Amino acid sequence: MSRIKGEFAKSYDRFIQRESPLPPGFLRLVRSYNPRSIVEFGCGTGSVAIGLGLAGFKVIGVDISSHMLREARQKIGKTKIDVQFILADIIDINLKRKFDILLCLGNTVPLIYRLKDARKLFRNFARHLNPGGSLIIQQLNYDRILIEKPHTFAIDRIENQIRIKQYNYTRNLIDFTVTMVNHSYVPPKINRSRSRLRPWRKIDLISELKKAGFYKISSFGDYSRNRFGRRSKDLIITAKLKLLK
């Protein structure tokens, strides 16, 4: 995971085109929980963490890629927002504190493709939440992808660069390739990076979260809590950590 993130850290934000750092409906969803503390696992270049910081929240972002975190820290610059970034592996990090909300967005969960590691990650979610705390996960809609099985599923163009995302399906996993073509050079400069994904179906992801101690698990097609369905681009999961008895 760190390699595919590190290779394209500088160009990552250019291909995520939003009018604001936060996706539509996301801030309202977070505010509905009235959190005092937030941690984001797999924060990447920090857009979401910084957007929440600008909205007045106290946020810690964790990522395994030093390249991504370098971009995140440069974004903060001299702004006085309460956001801290930590370089670590989200599978086994122990921040030795608990939060009201834990975020894991940007299709991060499928990048933890080994099942034993994914289960360890889900337990680590629980370790870092206050009892009754909230978990928000965002990933692509693999219920749809595993039916349609596209091989080239995205071609994005910005100025002189093209980004191509491709899938190759192998048993229960997906080999994920990102190819960057930069036409600023003659001949064009081509960078390619590969990773492996575990494509979580909604029913399987919910089942594993229950095993890790979560309940009140809901699924949506976007952050505005619209219904999740076959044509949804994303799967949004919200859950609560069980209260101590």
Q: Mind listing the pLDDT tens digit for each residue in 214-235?
A: 999 999 999 999 999 999 999 9
List pLDDT tens digits, range 134-169: 999 999 999 999 999 999 988 888 788 898 999 999
List pLDDT tens digits, range 170-192: 989 999 999 989 888 888 889 88
List pLDDT tens digits, range 17-62: 555 679 999 999 999 999 999 999 999 999 999 999 999 999 999 9
pLDDT confidence of residue 243 = 83
Residue 15 has pLDDT above 50, yes or no: no
pLDDT confidence of residue 7 = 47
pLDDT confidence of residue 17 = 54
Residue 53 has phi, psi (to 5 degrees) of -60, -40
